[in-house]
A and B are shown apart, each in its own frame.
Chain A
C-alpha cells in the first residue's frame, strides 16, 4: 500500500535539500499541505526560507489553501519564484 508522497524540489529548494525528489511518508488519511511543508522545513532547515517564498503544487495544480489535503500517492512540488525567459 502506498504511504508516501512524491516531493519534487526545484531550483533553490533542490539545492537546499541536495536532492531533486523525496519519498515522504504520510498518514493513510493524508496530511494538510501546511503541515507537510512544516515537516519538510523541520527535516531540512535550509529549505525553510525557500518554502516561505514558494508556491506549493499538488498533482500539477497550485495549492490554494493551506488545509488542502495531500494524500499518499500524490505529487507535491515546491516551486520557488519563477525565472524563465
Chain B
C-alpha cells in the first residue's frame, strides 16, 4: 500500500497521478481531475480561485478517506491531491485517482472520494475576478465553480 495524500502549492499533473496508480495487477484505473473554470455568468469573469486550508486536520481527513476507499471499495492504490493558494482558471485544483482490480470498484471509490472530500475536508475557496476581487453578487464560499 502506497497511499498518496497531498496538499500542494504547485501545479498538479494527471501523468504523475497515473504513474502513482500503476501496477501490473490493477486492471481498473480511474483518474478524476477538477479544474478551475471561468465563470461565464455576469460581467466579472472568474480568473482564479484561492484555496485556503487548515493543513493538519485536512491531511488527517484525507488519510481517513484513503483508508475508507481501500476498506469499503477494494481500492488498491489511491491518489488524493489538492492545490492550495491561488489556482488560475484552466489549472487543476484537485486530482482523485483510484486503481483496483476491476473497473467497478475503481469508479465507485473515485466517486466516493471526490464527493466526500468536498464535504468533509477543511478546504475553502474564494473566486477571484479579473480585478483580483470577488465577482459581484457572489458570497463566500462559492460552490460548483470547479471539479465539474
User: Which residues of A does B touch, CB under 8 Å?
Assistant: 8, 10-12, 14-15, 57, 60-61, 77, 79-85
Contacts and interface: CB of A to CB of B under 8 A. Distances in A.
A-B pairs, top 9 by smallest CB distance, nearest first, are A84-B123, A11-B124, A83-B141, A85-B147, A85-B118, A60-B56, A60-B57, A83-B125, A85-B94
Please tell me the size bucket of the interface on B. Answer: 20 to 34
B99 interface: no
A77 B55 CA distance: 12
A77 B123 CA distance: 13
Nearest to A8: B54
Nearest to B51: A84
Interface string B120-148: 11111110000000000000111100110
B124 A10 contact: yes
